[in-house]
Amino acid sequence: MKINEIKAMSEQTLQEQVAIFKADLAREKALVAGGTRPDNPGKIKSVRKTIARLLTVLNAKKREEKIKKNKK
C-alpha cells in the first residue's frame, strides 16, 4: 500500500487493515516455521513494513485529535 492511500483512510479502516495484515503475517510466518518454502520470500518483509506504515499514520491521526481536544 502506498502512503497516500493509507493517509486517506479513516481510523477504523486503518485498524481493520492492521488486523488483516497481522493475520497475513502470522500465516506467512507459520508457513516458514512449518518448514515449507514460501511462494514469495520477500512478502514477510513487505507485510511488516505495511503494518508499520499503517500504525504510523494511525498514531499520527490520534495525536492530531488529542492536540485538537487540548486546544479547545
The position carrying cell 495484515 is 21
CATH number, domain of 18, equals: 1.10.287.310
Question: Which of these, 11, 24, 12, lies nearest to 51 by C-alpha position?
Answer: 24
| pLDDT tens digits, 36-61 | 888 888 999 999 999 999 999 999 99
Q: Looking at the 3D structure of the chain, how many domains does it have?
A: 1
13-17, 31-35, 45-49, 65-69: the lowest-pLDDT one: 65-69
Owning domain of residue 45? 3-71
Kindly report the pTM of this predicted structure: 0.88
With a CB cutoff of 8 Å and minimum separation 6, the contacts of 52 are none
- The overall average pLDDT reported for the chain is 93
pLDDT at 68: 87
